[in-house]
Structure 1
Amino acid sequence: MTEKDAPLARLVAGCRTQLEHDLCELFEEMGPSLTQAATESGNAGRDRARNIAAAALVQALPTHWDKVSAALKANLAARAVHVARSEFDSADQANLRLLSAAEESVQFAMREVLDRVTLACRDETKPLDRRINYLVLRRVMQPGDKTFNLAALWSCIEAACAELTTDTGALILLLQLVGEQMATEMPQLYRVVNETMIEADILPSLKRSYRDTTPVDPNEVAEESSKLASTLERLVQARTKETAAKETSKPGTISQELFNSLKTLQAAATPQAPGKHTNVVRMVRDSGAARNVMPLEAVTLDIVVKLFDLIFSDPNVGDGIKALVARLQTPVLRAAMLNQRFFADRGHPARRFLDSISIVAVRWGKVVNAEDPFYLKLSELVDKVQSTYDGDLAAFDAANAELDAFLTEREEHDEQQNRALADAVLAREEEMRLKREGEIRAQQMADACIARIVEPETPPEIEEFLRTYWRDVVQNRISQSGEEGAPTAEAMQVATDLLWSVTPKHLAEERQRQAAGVPTLLSRINTGFDEIGAAPTERKAFLDTLLDLQLAAMRAKKAGARMGSSTSRTRGGGPTLQVSHATDLGIRVQDISLPTSEGLDRENTPDRADLRRVRQLVRGDWVDFTTARQTRRERLNWINRSRTLFLFSNSASPCAISITPEALAVRLRNGTAQIVKIDRPIFERAIHGAIRSLDQHA
């Protein structure tokens, strides 16, 4: 290896160290969850041998799991990473022997477990294998190097687990339970290795797109499609028997009366209150227009009715997305009636368009920004499909093509903007570090200023706003002009006026003063929101709440009872997260860090498991940040080389977030941040749920 290859050697060594460290740390924490899983397995199983094995594990795990963790560390340290096949010598051959029946049972069970973990990791291990075999890396990795080989790592895990028990049944069950957890955790460990190599420019073309959803296995898709098709056939047969029909209708023989009824009802449907959406397909199915449909059409109607019921009642789908979906009821039913392949084939043009809505919706979470260009584009395409689809799938093909082109253009735009923003943040990283130290005093002063004016009877929504959003405004102004400066005094006057505005008004003069002062107060609050880059959805949510409280005050009513202890965290005895604001490239950047002071209380000390979850984040991951009960979803777009600073942004928000891993871990711990787990597309979930529900009642 030449001196030129030293950086790559350090890269590989660093990835190996990180992978093994996270794996060992994960194992140290698995004991309690494995004990619970073994208990559940024993309670649920009818197999006596398995129940005995589960009982043995429940007894051994709490006291002896440390031995397994220590053994895994030793196995990883001792494994020979430079052994190639050509080095398989006679000494190894001399150790070959026939396996006992018990050992064969363990080996057979382990092959099944390893296959499952391998399948779960395939989307990360495949590109990693290509990178390892890449010419540049081959210079610094010896032939036969099994540093990142999953089977080699699993051998270390298997040998470590054997330290817990010698009972064959208990060992098999233990490895199966470990395999279940590894199928979830191991892909995350490999993701970090891949991301590190992408950052080092090792085959960066293999990086994932932010438009990707959950990994899809073609074999799994084919199997699911086959199951769906057979279930549909069974439902149709049951309906045929139920109605004593001689034959089912052929695809495409839709009752025109049915469609005319549907179009009329959907056109006449009045806008619903937020969270309320009319299932027009249900109304059509229950009407006289559906009385003469054949069994196949009747089953299709039932599925689509249930499908929209599930979507409209799904708490994880934002109201804005439900509103889009509601406008697609006629096209969806027509597509399903014309071709039952719609249910079983994810490649169907209508299914691809519907699934694309889910892919785009990931960027908003439950709070949809109706002004965001992505939402406006989806709304435009939904209108086109609704008005042009007459059974010809070209309407969906055109919508798919237009949406793909739009997403590609926006992705390139966002990538350029994020790269420029990351460069700007990187250039001032040292300045930010020094600024953090100075901001500690400014934040403490801002906290003290807010604490002086908050009273016990202050409505909880207002107190949360003052201790979060407005605290940042006051802190920002203290940093710029000092605690005695005019901007700081103005910010505190706004806070005082805000508190007065939600105090019950018993006199006419007070109500007149309230009415006259509200426009100025709202203007100054919005100015503060501008200073800290609050998102439009956050502003609207607070201002709507404020309006309700002010109207109650005008009627001389007291605010509702104080809600729980949700604000207690911001008033805890220990230091809080440090927050400051700056502007780069016209974008507000909120910098969040953890004080480097001694004596952090438990609330502000990062949890080891949360820190590991943060280390496993890669570019493209989404995190929900919550402030004063308002949630903003941001995408991780940049990580510095030392992984000490993460940059989150979202084109739907005017403010980016730079945050240290420790600070993000604290926010995960106290519930003000949550890593988003990408679920299956909305329509896929609903279709499976609808068909499963109908099949159970058939």
Structure 2
Amino acid sequence: MSSAQDPTSGSKVVDLGQRQDPRNERLGDLLLSVRGIALKRLQALVGTLFDNVDDALFDLAEKAENNAAQTQYFDGMREVRKKRPLVERLFVEQVTRGIGDFATGRSRAPRPADTPSSGTAAAELSLVDDSELEESLAITSMVGKAESRLARALFAVNQRLSVISGGNKVEDATNPIGPAMLGQALRGAMRELAVEVRVKLIIYKLFDRYVMGGLDALYDEVNAELVRSGVLPQLRHGVQHRPGMPAAGQPEAAAGAAHAAGGEAYLQESADLQAELFQTVTALLAARRGMVRGGAAQSYGGAASLSPAELLGALTLLQSQTATLPLPANLPAEAYQSELSAVQHLKDQLMGQIAQLSGEAKARVSGADEDTIDLVGMLFEYILQDRNLPAQMQVLLARLQIPYLKVAILDRKLFAHKTHPARRLLDALADAAKGWSEESDRDHRLLDKVRSTVEALLRDFDDDLDIFPRLLADFQTFNEAHRRRAELAEQRAAEATRGREKLQEARRRAAREILSRIEGRDLPALIHGVLTRPWANYLVLTLLRQGEGSQEFRSALQFVDDFVASAAPMPDEEARNRLRALLPQIEKALRHGLATVAFHENDVKRLMAELSAFYRRQLGLAAEGDAPDAGAAQAQAVPIPDSVEPITAIEEDTTELAEPRGDAPALRAARELKVGTWLELTDEQGVRERAKLSWISPISGRYLFVNRRGLKVADKTAQQIAAEIEAGTAVVLEEVPLFDRALDAIVERLRQAQAERQAPSGA
């Protein structure tokens, strides 16, 4: 046999059948999209992980039980700082390679080299290095915990990846962006770190916290992207019995055969679910129509039913009349009420228009068309009551009732198929409108774009459904350009907030270090002023630039100890000799610190002169006529500019960042908010603003909110958000697409109405 027949023998062998299948190009695009989302999210999460490694290792070093352990942690800090770029790059490369292997069908469940197979002799187990075993156990533990916590979202990702890979079975262990694969990618990258196993275990623990803990948003975004592309949009997130797994009593061979249908079976299941929902709606509408007409004369009896063409003609006339009405630039209450009335009475206007055109007193539409008219009416009534949409956007979108009624008559798939272009357009308009506010759209770009899209449909749509894909593509291009601009602004807002928090944390650390050394001591004003003002600033800068594990920071703290000791009384010559030996070190360190904080040269000279006089008095070398009282008065006039903030002001307000406590529903809801969630916030003046949760601080846990332009709106603690949710001044907006929410609400409304009508007869 030639080697070309071996599927693993060469990448140049191409399956011509695959190349001729036009679907493969789209599936490849979907995998590229998944890869882009995954790499972007994972790079950010791994960056956060390594941002916290240094602090964690330093804290452990400070609390180490002996010098050997402390040395291991400090060595680990240096090694991680040196190798961090390499480890991050290797991790991303391993993930990218895993996705590539998945795309080509070569992916396998990770099997660590140290994990004994079932056939391994017991004696071989003893050859496994203890440190390797500890790493394996750490990875197995965090992967198991993540897979359990993320079971629902992970199941959905598995099924959708199965669809876009041509029906190949995807499980947690073979998912290229699943916890198991990510854990092994980290382990491979960590081999570059020459550190003790205890340091590696700390990094694994932080990986669990910052990367595994942040996978929710990754899987939600991947699922949302694939749903938008029509991959299992109505998938039910069942996890007890996954497709392809044998049920009780079902042979495994049968289960495998059932899974062989692959992506087409899943897509068919999704289509069936959509059809089932639409059938539920139409059955409820038909039942309602029958019950209403059962007790009263039919409104349009005695006349022949209109054909769809006649119905569309009447709707086109009404549409042309609506197109001539100006769309409101702002929103007086009358405009809202006018639109609500127009939506509710469209059916009456339509029947009047039909009667006028036919010249008959009565006109009748078929039962199916009447149900369609009612269903579209309910859809747009829902839009006018949807809390997700600002009132201005509700009014604009309500104008689309007639075009969408025409679509529903022309193509019954509007309500049955989630990927229908008209449905996707309305969902896209509503999703963009969710984040709109007057403040965030001062240039009216979004408002004008939505208005122009509505006007184009009212003006140009007759019966050619191709207008919807064109308008959808145009709106998506507009939205994507805005999204890129907003993302840059979001990043700047997050970086600015992160910088401020790091500064505040450094100021608090500096305050604690200095106050712990001077509390309870009666220091001269000169010494106290130097420590609590310029030297405090130097400590802050050193923390931010060098880190608390640096030699420079330790030297700065040593200066504080020496400086405080130099102010103590000198009872004998031995103490004065020690001070004489210390003074050159004090002067050198102080001049370096003052230069670092850009202390003005004249202020440095004045300060050094004051310190020189102080130390002469300490050493008993005061000049003649320099009375003690005069020296004390001179020391009170500390030669430090007022612009240098004292340490006492830095230490204020540290309780605000405390970890939220309690288990109230509102607090749970606040803690469960995910990055990307939109809220409507109302301030004390009653002004409403739409804000997206953009970033959660790993330092303080505070939530950063931005508007749709990416500009900061607020940053709040979980407790503050919980209090606002309870008070009703913060409302979490729905993430489910508009059409889906509306259909669910319509079904519930129809069922409730049916139950109310049936109640008297059952009494």
Task: State TM-score, norm by structure 2.
Answer: 0.42
Tell me which of the two structures has the higher relative contact order, counting C-alpha pairs closer than 8 angstroms and 6 or more residues apart: 1
Larger Rg computed on CA atoms: 2
